[in-house]
Structure 1
Amino acid sequence: MSAAVELFDLHADGTPPADPLVLAREWLPGDDEPERPQVTLGTVGTDGWPDARTVLLTAFDETGFAFHTSAASRKVAELAALPRASMVVLWPGSTRQLVLRGDVVPDAEESVAAAWASRSDHLRQLAWCNTDELASLPRAERQQRWAAWAAANPAPGQAGSWVGYRLQPRELTFWAGGYDAASRRLQYTRAGGGWRWQHLAG
C-alpha cells in the first residue's frame, strides 16, 4: 500500500473534514494505482457466527468501497442472507487503521469488468480454477491441472463467477497511534444527508 501525504493529523487541534471520504483519500491509494490494499472483510455467517477474510480493496468513491470475489464463495452466501459488513484497513508497521461498517450492495457491471481487467494473470486464473474439487486433489495433480489450464487459456475472459460488491459505510473510524500521547480515534457516523464526527479514545 503506497504512502499518502496526510493533510489532516488526527492528533492535531482543529476541525476535521466534514466529509470522511476526504480523509480516506489522503490515506488510501488512488484507484489507478496497481498495488491494491489488502483489507479484512467481516460478515455474519449463515450460522450466526462472525466471519472474516482478507480481500483486495479494488476501488472506492462516493458509491462505496469495492471488492470482488467468486459468486460461489461463502462470503457471497453470507451477504445474500444479511447484506451488511465491516472492513478494516491496516497499515502494517504504521500507526493507522481505518474501520468501516455499513450496508453492502452489488457493484456496477462496468466496475466489475474494470476490476477484472486490473487483476494479475494469477488472480484471474484463481477466479476460474480455485474450486473445492481442485482443493481436494493431491498436490501433484493440482499442480498439473493448474499448469494445463494456464497453457490452454493464455488470455482468459472474465469468469462467469466473478462478482463485485460495494460497502456503503454508515460509519468510518480513523485510528492513529501516538508516541507522545494516547492513541486517538476520529469516528464519522451518517446523520441525515451528512456526517456527524466525534473524537474517541484509541
Structure 2
Amino acid sequence: MTHDPFPLFDSWFAEARETELNDSNAMTIATADASGQPAARMVLLKGHDRSGFVFYTNQESRKAADIAANPQAAILFHWKSLRRQIRIEGPLSTVSDETADAYFATRSRDSQLGAWASDQSRPLDSRATFEARYDEMKAHFEGKDVTRPPHWSGYRLTPQRFEFWQDREHRLHERRVFVRASNGASDGNGDDWTEGMLYP
C-alpha cells in the first residue's frame, strides 16, 4: 500500500484555493532560537512540490536569525471554511539564488521596493521614516529594474512529518499522520513514508 502525503496535501490545498476568501496560501511558521525561545508568525507559501514548501523573507529578520541558529521549523495551514488544518515539520534550507531571483521578479514593483526599504524586525522610530526610505528607493530605481536585495531570499522546508486534521462532530476529530521513514518500501517517488492515526 502506498502511503504518500503529497497528493492529499494537493487535494486539500486545491479545495482551500476555491473556498478561502483571502490568502488560502497563508501559513504559520514556528521557529526557535538557539536558546529554545519559540516564535510564530504568518507567511505566504510561494511554492511547493515533493522537495518542500517555500516562503520568502528578509534574511536579516528575526525569523531568519532563528533559522540560522536552529534550522528546524513547523508550518501550519488552517482553513476555517473547510474546518481543516495541516501541520508539517522539518528542516529548512535556503533556496538557490536563481530560484529567489525568479520569484522576486514576479512581485509587484512596490513590493520589490519595499524589500529594499525595510529593515525587517528592527526597531522603527516612525512610519514616516519607513515611507521616506521607500521614496528614496523609488527614486534610486527610477527607470530601472528593481533587483533582488542581497539580504532577501527564500527558505524551503523539507517535510519529515505531516498531520492532517479534519473537524468532526462532537470533537471526534480525525487526525492522519505521515512520517518520513529512514527505511522501508519506496512509494515510487523516492520517498519512504509511514502512515498512522492519532486519537483526537
- Residue by residue over 1:27-67, the C-alpha shift from the partner in whole angstroms, topping out at 9 and shown as x without a partner, is 225xxxxx671111111123321111111111011111111
Total equivalences in the alignment: 183
Partner of 1:18: 3
Q: How does 1:15-164 map to 2 (within 5 A)?
A: 18-29=3-14, 37-131=25-119, 136-154=124-142, 155-164=145-154
Q: Distance in 1 between matches of 2:123 and 2:36?
A: 26
Q: Distance in 2 between matches of 1:138 and 1:181?
A: 46
In the TM superposition, residue 188 of structure 1 has moved relative to its aligned partner by: 0.3
Q: Distance in 2 between matches of 1:132 and 1:38?
A: 19
Check the 8 A contact 1:135/1:142 in 2, yes or no: no
- Residue by residue over 1:91-111, the C-alpha shift from the partner in whole angstroms, topping out at 9 and shown as x without a partner, is 133301110001111212332
Check the 8 A contact 2:114/2:134 in 1, yes or no: no
In the TM superposition, residue 116 of structure 1 has moved relative to its aligned partner by: 0.9
SS of the aligned residue for 1:169 comes to coil
Given residue 37 of structure 1, which amino acid in structure 2 is its aligned partner?
N
Partner of 1:6: none
In the alignment, which of 191, 194, 198 is matched to residue 192 of structure 2?
194
Given residue 66 of structure 1, which amino acid in structure 2 is its aligned partner?
V
Check the 8 A contact 1:36/1:58 in 2, yes or no: no
Distance 1:139 1:65, change over 3 A: closer
Partner of 1:11: none
- Residue by residue over 1:62-87, the C-alpha shift from the partner in whole angstroms, topping out at 9 and shown as x without a partner, is 11111111111111121111111000
In the TM superposition, residue 152 of structure 1 has moved relative to its aligned partner by: 4.1
Q: CA RMSD in A?
A: 2.6
SS of the aligned residue for 1:111 comes to helix
Partner of 2:168: 178
Check the 8 A contact 2:117/2:130 in 1, yes or no: no
Distance 1:67 1:133, change over 3 A: closer
Check the 8 A contact 2:71/2:91 in 1, yes or no: yes
TM-score by length of 2: 0.80
Q: Distance in 2 between matches of 1:108 and 1:190?
A: 24
Check the 8 A contact 1:127/1:161 in 2, yes or no: no
Q: Distance in 1 between matches of 2:118 and 2:99?
A: 22
In structure 2, runs of 5+ residues without a counterpart are 15-22, 184-190
Check the 8 A contact 1:134/1:142 in 2, yes or no: no
